[in-house]
Amino acid sequence: MIQKAMPTSRRTILKTLGGAAAVAAAGPSLFNVARAQAAPIKIGFPVPLTGPFGTEANDQVKAAQIAVKQFNDAGGFEGRMAELLVRDDRLNPGEAATRTLELIEKDKVNFLVGSLSAAVQLSINNVAKERGVIFNSISQSDAINEAKDWSKYTFHEALNPHITAGAVGRYAFSKFGKKVAFLTADYAYGHEMVRGFKRAGEGMGIEVLADVRHPIGASDYSAFLPRIQALKPDVLVLCNFGRDQVVSIKQATEFGLKRTTKLVAPVLLFTARKAGGDSFEGVVGGSSYYWRLEDKVASAKAFNDAFRAANGGAVPSDYGALGYAGVRSVLAAVAAARSTDTDRVIEAMRALKYDWYKGPQYYRGCDHQSVQSVLILESKHKDMKNADDVFSIAAVEEPDEAKLRTCAEMGHKA
């Protein structure tokens, strides 16, 4: 069989081999040029697709894909298209660190955007900053911008507890009264929120009647609520999140607390409100975004329309919108820097003055916190345009660096 197939002479084989070698030798350079132009700009996107925040995380992915699509439809950057690499971090910092290592070491991502928990973003940040990869966080945390955790590769697109609680506090204390009680979930998020409210209230002369702590995941608030009710506060601030918030608001309503006291939450989630239903009536809280902003802000309208078109008419949630802004900022910086080189993209991001979806924003120089507006929302049950129209925008606190903690306070030099 071998002999039959061997009419080719040794010489021919040598010639063929030589030719192949020549092509191979010339090949790599040609091939590399072709590849360099086509190589996608990879953005790693670790979010908790499974777990209690799965709804928000899926919304973040949908919104981020719109930013990628818009970038690619506009021709990309010198022919290079953007690509989103979504990973499930399971809301677990250890898994997030592993996935971040995978994205950096195996997939060689250019940038990282994502996360939906304080601990997870700090974990991603630590892994990314050691390896010199830009990370734009889209979830709330005070710690990530402090000098201890921060690096020049760290950007923070989301609000943080200090600004959110501050804005809500300034609005609520001036409007509803100065006698305040807190009901706080006993963990970092709750503590940071209380700190923010107290800071905002200091100058306004508020009187703190009680700061009641409850364990995370408590299902029965009857031990706390009568005590608070007896103090007759003007404002009850619920510094808890997700299911705790829904349950405690429900029980406060049943206790009749709403007759004497205004209920206030630092963050009102669009998804939690839709799940929580009627008990939210009249509750006031803060948010980074609400879709009805489109009535006033042109960029919100444009973003909502793009999101509706891609997702069968659904409107984006607050955290979802952050996925869009986080990715769009990075891609806009690539276009502005005319490069994907990390240092040049950092410079471009620091120089950005942008309005992607909610009005003007920019990153503060010393800690890369996105300076942006805070929405004060009130939950409503009348005059709803449709099933998604669950809040009215009571006030908008315009972007103002003075409302953030100072750079010196966060441990930065400048």
Partner 1 sequence: MTVLDPPQSTARRWLGHVARHRVAATLGFLVLFPLIVPYEALAANILVLGLYALGFNLLFGYTGLLSFGHAAFLGSGAYGCGIALVHFGVGWFGAILIGTALATLVAAVIGFLAIRTRGIYFAMVTLALSMCVYYAFYQMEPLTGGENGLRGVNLQTIGVFGFQLSFLNPTVKYYVLLAFVGVAIWLFSRLLASPFGAVLEAVRENENRARACGYDVAATKLVAFVISGAFCGLAGALNALHLSIVPIETLHYTTSGQVVMMALLGGMGTFFGPFVGAATFLLLQDVLSVLTQHWQLYVGIVFILFVLFFPRGIWGSLLDRFGPR
The residue ranges that bind partner 1 (CB under 8 A) are: 49-50, 54, 87-88, 90, 92-94, 97-98, 101-102, 105-106, 118-119, 122-123, 125-127, 130-131, 141, 143, 148-149, 187-189
Smallest distance, Å, CB 301 to partner 1? 31
Smallest distance, Å, CB 130 to partner 1? 5
CA distances from 148 to 88, 125, 133, 140, 283 (A): 27, 12, 17, 17, 36
Alpha carbons 8 and 208: distance in angstroms, whole number: 95
Residue with token string 């902003």: 293
CA distances from 92 to 148, 177, 319 (A): 22, 40, 18
Smallest distance, Å, CB 288 to partner 1? 21
Please check whether residue 266 is in contact with residue 239, taking contact to mean a CB–CB distance below 8 angstroms: yes
CA 62 to chain centre: 13
Smallest distance, Å, CB 120 to partner 1? 9
Smallest distance, Å, CB 100 to partner 1? 9
In one letter, which amino acid is 386? N
Smallest distance, Å, CB 378 to partner 1? 30
Q: Which is nearer to partner 1, 93 or 316 (CB)?
A: 93
How many Å from the N-terminal Cα to the C-terminal Cα in the chain?
A: 80
In one letter, which amino acid is 181? A
Smallest distance, Å, CB 274 to partner 1? 20
* DSSP letters spanning 322-383: HHHHHHHHHHHHHHHHTS--HHHHHHHHHH-EE-SSSS-EEE-TTT-BEE--EEEEEE--SS
Smallest distance, Å, CB 64 to partner 1? 16
Alpha carbons 286 and 239: distance in angstroms, whole number: 12
Alpha carbons 210 and 228: distance in angstroms, whole number: 7
Tally DSSP H helices, then E strands, for the chain: 12, 15
Smallest distance, Å, CB 99 to partner 1? 8
List the 207-214 sheet strands across, edge first: 207-214, 179-185, 235-239, 262-267, 284-287, 374-379, 391-397
Cα–Cα nearest to 334, from 40, 124, 33, 36: 40
Q: Which is nearer to partner 1, 42 or 87 (CB)?
A: 87
Smallest distance, Å, CB 50 to partner 1? 6
Q: 298-310 vs 318-337: helix axis angle to the nearest 10? A: 110
Q: Which is nearer to partner 1, 143 or 321 (CB)?
A: 143
Q: Which is nearer to partner 1, 49 or 346 (CB)?
A: 49
Taking the alpha carbons of 150, 99, 348, 369 in that order, is the dihedral positive or negative? Answer: negative
Q: What is the DSSP letter of 81?
A: P
Q: Which is nearer to partner 1, 189 or 354 (CB)?
A: 189
Q: Which is nearer to partner 1, 129 or 258 (CB)?
A: 129
Q: Which is nearer to partner 1, 51 or 360 (CB)?
A: 51
Q: Which is nearer to partner 1, 118 or 390 (CB)?
A: 118
Please check whether residue 280 is in contact with residue 249, taking contact to mean a CB–CB distance below 8 angstroms: yes
Q: Which is nearer to partner 1, 66 or 122 (CB)?
A: 122
Q: Which is nearer to partner 1, 123 or 229 (CB)?
A: 123
